[in-house]
A and B are shown apart, each in its own frame.
Chain A
């Protein structure tokens, strides 16, 4: 690891911009700081760069798919009218990838940090001001990545032992981790380039065995968890927090009717639709409108997804009936008394899509309370938390 190519610039100019720091007295160099404290052969640059490439790719996929999820959930005003309702499985794929690559990053970050662990004890701890700054940057990068993966993993279990809000913290830590990664790549670019190609480093049997083990670890972790969203891996779903066929009516639930306080629906329930010509409909009247069926997935931010055949009234039909033209957005309100997703706004592309339904039935059965009885929203290419259940009101807002 001591073979970093020299930077450009004369020593004099380097010293001016990067003043050296005094080395601590040698007698402090004990324990893991000793020169021969670490002896594992795979702890060498080529191994680190190969694992780093995989980890970098996983983190990049996490960041981009996470950003996609954030924009779909909480679009800025200028973007909302342009969000696409297709492909039908778009969000299922991006969010599935988000969690799959995040879980794959857990063994990768473990292996990567194990391989560079001796660097934590390099001597002297800081050669110069820039070197100290670089190490501080690595601390930010590692802390952000570790906390990001930890909060993400526990969120899929709906386990929140920390005092801060998950969604916002996970979002901002993602920027910190990505920024730290880019700085790290800039600093290490010469070292990375020097061993990027296989021929640039001596062949090493231990490296091969180590990289094979890393691949096996990523493969094992993926195989036993990805079944929560990938249908043909369902049989191997051993450690994922969800199984797409387990739950009421064979579908998982993010928030139950008991949690939302909607186990019993008021006897005088009417769907209220507000627009230029507002109206109300009973459940029986809704059932007499033209019914359509669509095979659509519920794709949760937590990374699981499950397809079902939903039957109900087209949302565009309901909105037209209220006198609103195509291109209108709506606001949907749930019966639940509180909750961050009680009120949901649906941009026009989803409203106008013929697959977007106010569903009354799933797989031929009347909706269970946990799936949103009497009526729920189901739209293509949208996060599950926005598929509002126990719908009380739809209002045209544009």
Chain B
């Protein structure tokens, strides 16, 4: 072994990167080869169309929509705050929005497809619209609780010193 410790570390990083790059290109190549050669995939252009379409819809429509929703709701929630910025409930509301969007992304296909089981009642057997709304309501309830606890703790801290002075037991030496 020659070279200083940083030089050796630099070499190790380069080896790892080269290995990752080579492996990644090989795996990608195998995927392309398989996709183009699979006897069941008669038209790989269909796959390309759907892949590009997904990219365009996600980046061009879905993300801007989510951002817009977030800005509108969080700004409205913060409108009452004296600071002018997002109100004290802002981070919690934003957090709940992340949860709500995630639950919707995963549950929406079932909501849209509920009842369409091709004669197999054990597929999609649940009331998905109700369950989706229930999930949103339950997570909103938890978020509200967190926001209320946060506000209560902040208020307690703000008015705390005076209040606590009254409530705190008297110093030992004063007790006779």
Contact = CB atoms under 8 A, between A and B. Distances in A.
Given A189-B20, A220-B99, A246 B122 contact: yes
A126 interface: no
Q: How large is the interface on A (under 10, 10 to 19, 20 to 34, 35 or more residues)?
A: 35 or more
B110 A157 contact: yes
Interface stretch (A76-84, A111-119, A343-351, A359-367): A111-119
Interface string B104-124: 011101100100111111111
Contacts, number: 222
Interface string A231-248: 000000111111100111
Contacts of B123: 157-158, 241-242, 252
B98 A140 contact: no
A221 interface: yes
Nearest to B71: A40
Interface in A167-181: 167-169, 171-181
A239 B122 contact: no
Given A147-B50, A164-B47, A179 B102 contact: no
Contacts of B164: none
B121 to A, nearest CB: 7
A142 interface: yes
Contact of B128 (A167, A175, A217, A239): A239
Given A120-B59, A157-B109, A162 B50 contact: yes
B29 A253 contact: no
Interface residues on B, range: 35 or more
Interface string B58-92: 11000100110000000000000000000000010
Given A103-B106, A146-B58, A176-B35, A185 B20 contact: yes
B69 to A, nearest CB: 12
A327 B21 CA distance: 43
B10 A8 contact: yes
A175 B135 CA distance: 34
Contacts of B94: 209-210, 213
Interface of A: 8, 103, 106-107, 110-111, 113-114, 117, 120, 139-140, 142-144, 146-147, 150, 153-154, 157-159, 162-165, 167-169, 171-187, 189-190, 193, 206, 209-210, 212-214, 216-218, 220-221, 224-225, 237-243, 246-248, 251-256, 258-259
Nearest 6 CB-CB pairings of A with B: A182-B24, A179-B28, A175-B31, A179-B27, A213-B95, A247-B122
Given A179-B26, A183-B24, 19 more contacts: A106-B105, A107-B102, A107-B105, A111-B98, A120-B59, A139-B55, A147-B50, A158-B123, A164-B46, A167-B40, A172-B34, A175-B31, A176-B32, A179-B25, A179-B29, A214-B98, A216-B99, A220-B102, A221-B103
Interface of B: 10, 13-14, 16-18, 20-21, 23-32, 34-35, 38, 40-41, 43, 46-47, 50-52, 54-55, 58-59, 63, 66-67, 91, 94-96, 98-99, 101-103, 105-107, 109-110, 113, 116-126, 128, 131-132, 134-135, 139
